[in-house]
Amino acid sequence: MRKLLLILALACSFSLFGQSIDTAAVRSAIERQLASYPESTLQDIYKSFYQEHFGPGHIISDTASARRYLMRELSEMGKTQSPYFEPTGSQGDYVRVYLSAIADSLITAEQLLDALISSANSWLETSVNWLEKWEAIVSVIQANKIELDGFETDLPLLTEAARNNQAVHHSRRYNEAYHPHYRIVERNIFERELRQTLK
């Protein structure tokens, strides 16, 4: 009962800043990530929700370099067991499209690059700032006693990163276990330009 009241209190407290944060959806997204990627750390959870909040704009300096980086990553990528796509965060406003979809000839590199650039140019601004959202995510983890290795060590570093709207890489554990290769695409662009061929 006490746990339920705490969760309800959290849900109320995170609706005071202009836009409600759905703590039940946050919890579900974290549980989904840990089920799919049990080697995830707090850093990987931060990354998923950060990608949902900011989209891909923070990684594109210019189109030519984005294309070169994509082609180099494709050439160096080994065999992966990744899905073709999956949502980021808890709202699914952005989608991770894995390069395995190109390797398996379902889409072309140019299609993904075009979708990536279009997504960067159509960033969806929210009324909740990133630090507020990150604090809500951490509270959900703590209230539900979700266990993550290295949580106490990672938390202050990631909270400082959130204070500065800073992106992070995947954790070493995650990279070694899953070898992720993907790009971030806004959901509506994904549905319109890529989804049909990634069944």
State the pLDDT at residue 123.
67
Tokens 């690059």 belong to residue:
113
Strands 182-186, 94-98: pairing kind: antiparallel
pTM comes to 0.86
Name, in order, each residue with C-beta under 8 angstroms of 46's C-beta and a sequence gap of 6 or more.
134, 137, 158, 161, 162, 168
In angstroms, the first-to-last Cα distance of the chain is 42
Question: Which helix (DSSP H) or strand (DSSP E) does residue 184 occupy?
Answer: strand 182-186
Q: pLDDT by residue (tens digit) across 57-94?
A: 655 667 888 888 899 999 988 777 789 999 999 998 99
State the pLDDT at residue 124.
64
What's the rounded mean pLDDT across residues 6-24? 54
Is pLDDT larger for residue 5 or for residue 49?
Answer: 49
State the pLDDT at residue 19.
54
Q: pLDDT by residue (tens digit) across 93-150?
A: 999 999 999 999 999 999 999 999 889 887 666 667 999 999 999 999 999 999 999 9
Residue 171 — left, alpha, or beta (φ > 0 → left; ψ -120 to 50 → alpha)? beta
